[in-house]
């Protein structure tokens, strides 16, 4: 459920590290949603030609892991962070597109296609909710522990200058 965690973590990174402007932060945060949609669109074409869907899934998972891991090492370079977040989201979208296609193939009783795809969608949505809520809970808990003793203006300036994306990612894992 990397998509659900990225939709929580990347906007937090944008707000803390890159800009305090709400409009600019919102535009930078669109990298996740736009990347997933783009990945789903191109993932359908990528899965259609050439066969070997297992290796295509493996490759997209490997690239998604590499781009998401590299995002943890970005400092204050917002162009690099946006590029890595977008590439990671594209790989997530491509992987989702291929996985949804495979659900219809692996069901032994083809009269149960609707049930299989519905169960897949429900499980994906449920696990996404659990992942994003646990991420929000951890980020809220850690931020309240570190910012309880100082006034807000001092907290913001210190956090913006001292925080790194690695620290934000470590809150989850």
What pLDDT, in 10s, does the model give residues 69-106?
888 788 777 888 889 889 999 998 998 888 887 777 77
Residue 171: pLDDT band with limits 50, 70, 90? very low
What's the whole-number mean pLDDT along residues 133-158? 57
Q: Count structural domains, the chain.
A: 1
Task: For the beta carbon of residue 170, count every other beta carbon within 10 angstroms.
Answer: 11
Give residue 161's domain range: 2-170
Question: Residue 88: is it exposed, middle or buried by C-beta count within 10 angstroms (0-12/13-18/19+)?
Answer: buried
Q: Which two tokens stand for residue 130?
A: 């659990």
Q: In the predicted model, is pLDDT for residue 139 greater than 70?
A: no
Encode 11-25: b = buried (16+ Cβ within 10 Å), e = exposed. Answer: bbbbbbbbbeeeeeb
Residue 50 is classified by DSSP as: S
Q: In the predicted model, is pLDDT for residue 162 greater than 70?
A: no
Q: How high is the mean pLDDT of the chain?
A: 76
> How far is Cα 57 from Cα 60, in angstroms, rounded to an integer?
5
- Range in 59-73, 88-102, 147-161 the model is least confident about: 147-161
What percentage of the chain carries pLDDT values higher than 70?
75
Q: What is the pLDDT of residue 170?
A: 47
Q: Could you report the per-residue pLDDT of 3-32, keeping only the tens digit for each?
A: 666 777 778 778 877 887 888 888 888 888
Q: What is the pLDDT of residue 103?
A: 78
> How far is Cα 169 from Cα 164, in angstroms, rounded to an integer?
9
> How far is Cα 94 from Cα 67, in angstroms, rounded to an integer?
14
What percentage of the chain carries pLDDT values higher than 90?
8
């Amino acid at each position: 459920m990397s998509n659900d965690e990225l939709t929580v973590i990347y906007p937090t990174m944008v707000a803390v590290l890159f800009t305090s402007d709400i409009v600019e932060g919102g535009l930078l945060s669109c990298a996740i949603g736009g990347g997933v949609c783009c990945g789903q669109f191109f993932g359908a074409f990528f899965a259609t030609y050439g066969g070997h869907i297992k290796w295509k899934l493996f490759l997209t998972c490997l690239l998604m892991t590499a781009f998401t891991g590299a995002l943890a090492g970005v400092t204050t370079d917002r162009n690099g962070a946006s590029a890595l977040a977008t590439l990671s989201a594209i790989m997530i979208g491509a992987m989702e597109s291929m996985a949804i296609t495979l659900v219809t193939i692996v069901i032994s009783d083809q009269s149960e296609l609707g049930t299989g795809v519905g169960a897949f969608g429900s499980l994906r949505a449920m696990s996404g909710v659990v992942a994003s809520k646990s991420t929000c809970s951890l980020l809220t808990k850690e931020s309240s522990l570190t910012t309880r003793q100082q006034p807000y203006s001092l907290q913001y300036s210190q956090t913006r200058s001292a925080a790194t994306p690695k620290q934000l990612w470590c809150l989850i894992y």
